[in-house]
Amino acid sequence: MNNRNLIVLIVFLLAFLTGVNFVIFPSLGTAFTDAFLFGLSSSQFGNLFIPQVICIIVACLGAPVLVNKWGPKIVLAVGIVLMLISTGSLWFLHYFLAEKAMLFLVLMVLVAFTGTGFGLSITTLNPLAASLFEKGSAKAILILQFLVGLGTSTSPLMMNLIGDPKNWMYLPGSIFVTVVVVLIVFLFLKIEKGSFFKLPGHFRIPEKLWVFFIAIIFYGCVEGTFGSFGGIILKNKGLDNGEASIGLSLFWAGIALNRLLFGIFSKMVDLSLVFLCAPIAVAITIVLLLVYPDVHLLVFMMFMIGFFMGSIFPGSIGWGTVEFPTYSVLVSGFLMAANQIGTGVVTNVLGRFSDHLNEVLQILVVLMTIISTLFFYLKRNSKIKDAF
């Protein structure tokens, strides 16, 4: 295997492991709220992720400047090390579970490390993948985001395989060892900084990039609603707990499948119009969810909502990278931060409106319509066909 192929393999493997690492704390929810283990209350467990969202946003906005100064290899390595510090420390916490008074504060700090590490890593990985496939940068980002999503679904699966919450320490332990091995290989690779990661000496954020930013904040609101409250929405529509859980899983499966298919087939056919119309397809499916909530179709509707949403976020990063090649790292950090702002606001606010879910869904239809309008505005005199 030549050096370039090894770099591609390790970069995409790190994307998968970044996703695995990112959701380690949510995956351990049963252990954290177990009275005989960590003993967190439900509200403490929810508040645990506030520093994570804040740190991700700050890291995503700061990463472009750091990559411009130090290069992608150093920033990515720092991001991974921060996540490793968090995961490794979590692993060792099983020796100190008797000190319950301090556990919540310690977990808050560790979650902040994970958020910062994730923000630095994912912001750097997007343009790094694009730089390895300059003629197919948008497709590379779609595949990378598919692997990140696959990683986020792996941690909960691993916890299910572990079974008893008392054995929770095997999850961070196995992840820590695996990521350390891959990181060591990565550190021996030679990755040039290159012009792809440089920012102009004096720059201002292009007007069109602000439009992308607004669109992705709205997208984050929709993703956060279904990703965090999808199960509640389905239960409100008449499904039981098991069916609601399946529906939520299929939502994320739809997102992952769309990203994979988009990354594969955009090499063969022009999918730019499909991308532009995706928000409208999401809006129509949500309307069907509202006006025709047949219990036999609800789970399928959740899958289709996820499927139509799949390419919107990574596709926007890829399109922005093609549109503003001299700002590729900035595009990644800017839009990653926008997504976290949208999801962070929704997950911390929507719980107060759990009795008004139909009204919430109506608002999501409006947001998706606005996103489609913004995309068609951005399409004018754009390079979207080069992206898809």
296-317 confidence digits (pLDDT tens) = 788 888 888 888 988 888 888 8
Q: Which residue has the higher pLDDT, 53 or 95?
A: 53
Percentage of residues in the chain having pLDDT higher than 90: 15
Give the model's pLDDT for residue 355.
67
pLDDT given at position 236: 73
Q: SS3 sequence, the chain?
A: CCHHHHHHHHHHHHHHHHHHHHCHHHHCHHHHCCCCCCCCCHHHHHHCCHHHHHHHHHHHHHHHHHHHHHCHHHHHHHHHHHHHHHHHHHHHHHHCCCCHHHHHHHHHHHHHHHHHHHHHHHHHHHHHHHHHCHHHHHHHHHHHHHHHHHHHHHHHHHHHHHCCHHHCCHHHHHHHHHHHHHHHHHHCCCCCCCHHHCCCCCCCCCHHHHHHHHHHHHHHHHHHHHHHHHHHHHHHCCCCHHHHHHHHHHHHHHHHHHHHHHHHHCCCCCCHHHHHHHHHHHHHHHHHHHHCCCCCCHHHHHHHHHHHHCCHHHHHHHHHHHHCHHHHHHHHHHHHHHHHHHHHHHHHHHHHHCCCHHHHHHHHHHHHHHHHHHHHHHHCCCCHHHHC
The pTM score is 0.82
Q: What is the mean pLDDT of residues 206-232?
A: 83
pLDDT per residue over 338-351, tens digit each? 888 888 887 777 66
Across the chain, mean pLDDT equals: 81
Domains present along the chain, CATH in parentheses: 3-197 (1.20.1250.20), 207-387 (1.20.1250.20)
